Amino acid sequence: MRCLKSLRKAVVKCISQVLSNPSNTMNIAIVGVGLVGRVLALNLLRQGHSITLFDEDSAYGEAAAGMTAAGMLAVFAELESAQSSIFDHGNRSISLWPSLLKQVNIPHAFKQEGSIITAHPQDYSELENFIFTLKSKVNQAEDIELLDNNGIIALEPDLEQHQKAFFIPHEGQVDSQKFMKASSDYLLAHEKVTWYENTSINKVSEGCISIGIEEKKFDWVFDTRGLGAKKEVQNLRGVRGEVLWLDAPEVDINRPVRMLHPRYKIYIVPRDNNRYIIGATEIESEDKSPISVRSSLELLSAVYTMHSGFGEARIVKTMTNCRPSMKDNLPFIAHGDKLTRINGLYRHGYLLAPAVVEEALKGLTWLKKLK
Ligand SMILES: Cc1cc2nc3c(=O)[nH]c(=O)nc-3n(C[C@H](O)[C@H](O)[C@H](O)COP(=O)(O)OP(=O)(O)OC[C@H]3O[C@@H](n4cnc5c(N)ncnc54)[C@H](O)[C@@H]3O)c2cc1C
């Protein structure tokens, strides 16, 4: 993970500001109240700070990638195509999510019951390679369990047609849409939060944000605009992802399930009342237009072969968004004078945001003095 050290001068300046400030408060802005902005806001409020939030969207965050995400905490499965550094941050985030969800009154939005990975028989070699790659990256992957048909039925009776799968015990999920809604309610009601909704910020610089031609000054500014920070964060790009939401009364799956295939990796993430999120494509494009016919066909036919009960499911929603990603697909934290940018959470926003925010705040030791 890239972390540019705070400028020593800036820190010294801020410490002297804090010491000379009798009310011991600072004027802090968060620009971009998607997933990272919310996790950051919850942390800063816990530390006793007052915050001003800006987002070009409404407070309910419909446009944020954090709203499109399935919320999987796939600390092992994501390792196949990621560096092992995300493993530690992923585990740390899994330990931090329960208290964040408790803070916004939805402790039940966190589940950690493991996940299942399977494949069609002709793709079993893909499955073996996948698990081999995980085991070669982290020792803890030894806990991944090979399941035969009986083992699969014991965990997920509805997957009885599958003969071979792997069970990854430590993985979990956050109900991302519940988190977005509950965090909006919590932040809107909080006496220490001022929220400028539907307010697009065209420039974020050191201690200053620009709203059209107007400038607002702050003691510290956090830029968490995701892809919206593209002009000011070099090498930031969007990676298109599409998901389908299905209501499938004939399907009863309780854990996230992945299916490997040479061309795509699909996942099924269960929500309440036999609702499933099916995703997700990964396309090098910043196009946020609706899901394509090709993607729909691929995702739906894969899911139908996984469980024939999806044949009678109803497509209740489709969503498309772009994952904010750096060249190396790793998170980006940069501290400047009165400015911190956090970005590049790619396909790992829920998996990494609590740990990445924690790391960013650790770099700003003077902030803790305000408690
Ligand atoms: C299809 C899909 C599935 C995903 N599934 C998962 C998953 O299962 N698990 C997982 O860990 N991650 C997943 N992700 C990734 C996760 O959603 C992202 O990593 C995460 O949302 C990035 O958070 P962010 O706060 O940086 O960006 P966002 O959540 O996009 O938030 C950015 C915010 O900034 C605001 N903004 C932008 N520009 C401006 C501006 N100029 N002025 C003011 N406000 C602005 C936006 O309105 C938005 O609210 C998925 C992503 C997609 C697209």
What is the reported pLDDT for 126?
87
- Please give the mean pLDDT across all residues of the chain: 91
* DSSP result, 279-306: E---BS----SPPPHHHHHHHHHHHHHH
At 7 the pLDDT is 45
C-alpha 292 – ligand 1 centre gap (Å): 21
- Using the predicted structure, report yes or no on whether residue 369 has a pLDDT greater than 70: no
Q: What is the mean pLDDT of residues 245-264?
A: 92
Q: How many other CB atoms sit within 10 Å of the CB of residue 81?
A: 12
Q: Which atom of ligand 1 is nearest to the CA of 321?
A: 53
pLDDT tens per residue across span 205-219: 999 999 989 999 999
List, for residues 112-142, the tens digit of each pLDDT value.
999 999 998 999 998 998 899 888 888 888 9
Determine the atom of ligand 1 nearest the C-alpha atom of 353.
23
The answer, yes or no, to whether residue 272 has pLDDT greater than 70, is: yes
Instruction: Pick the atom of ligand 1 nearest to 35's CA.
Output: 25
Torsion of CA 277, 118, 129, 265, to 10 degrees: -20
For residues 297 and 303, what is the distance between their CA atoms, to the nearest angstrom? 10
**Atom 22 of ligand 1: nearest residue by CA position:** 349
Q: Residue 70 — pLDDT band, cuts 50, 70, 90?
A: very high
> Can you say whether the dihedral through the CA atoms of 116, 117, 120, 121 is positive or negative?
negative
- Identify any residues that bridge with 276 across adjacent strands, giving them in sequence order: 246, 270
Q: What average pLDDT does this structure show over 62-73?
A: 97
Q: Is the pLDDT of residue 20 over 50?
A: no
Residues with CB under 6 A from ligand 1: 31-37, 54-57, 61, 63-66, 68-72, 200-201, 224-226, 228, 241, 243, 279-280, 321, 323-324, 343, 345-351
* pLDDT tens per residue, range 166-206: 999 999 999 999 999 999 999 999 999 999 999 999 999 99
CA of residue 55 to ligand 1 center, whole Å: 12
Residue range 140-167, pLDDT digits in tens: 889 899 999 999 999 999 999 999 999 9
Distance 69 CA to ligand 1 centre (A): 8
Residue with tokens 């560096």: 83
Alpha-carbon gap, residue 136 to 235, rounded angstroms: 30
* Percent over 70 (pLDDT), the chain: 92
> Is the pLDDT assigned to residue 2 strictly greater than 80?
no
Give the model's confidence band at 21: pLDDT under 50 very low, under 70 low, under 90 confident, else very high. Answer: low
Q: How far is the CA of 148 from the centre of ligand 1 (A)?
A: 37
Q: Choose one of 42, 55, 86, 265 to mutate for the ligand 1 pocket test, by most ligand atoms within 8 angstroms of C-beta.
A: 55
Q: Kindly give the distance from the C-alpha atom of residue 180 to the centroid of ligand 1, in angstroms, as a whole number.
A: 11
100 neighbors 354 (Cβ within 8 angstroms):
yes
Most confident of 23-27, 81-85, 110-114, 264-268: 110-114
Beta strands in 171-256 (DSSP E): 172-174, 193-196, 203-205, 208-211, 214-217, 220-223, 237-247
Residue nearest to atom 19 of ligand 1 (CA): 349
Those residues with Cβ within 8 angstroms of residue 184's Cβ, 6 or more apart along the chain or in another chain:
59, 60, 61
Residue to mutate (ligand 1; options 31, 54, 56, 87; most atoms within 8 A of CB): 56
pLDDT for res 23:
53
| Alpha carbon nearest to ligand 1 atom 49, residue | 34
Provide DSSP, 94-128: HHHHHHHHHHTT-GGGEE---EEEEE-GGGHHHHH
Nearest CA to ligand 1 atom 38: 228
Please determine, for residue 57, whether its predicted confidence score (pLDDT) is greater than 50.
Answer: yes
Give the C-alpha separation, 129 to 153, whole Å. Answer: 23
Mean pLDDT of 335-364: 96
* Average pLDDT of span 80-99: 90
| Cα–Cα distances in angstroms (integers) from residue 126 to residues 84, 114, 241, in the given order | 20, 21, 22
Residue nearest to atom 50 of ligand 1 (CA): 69
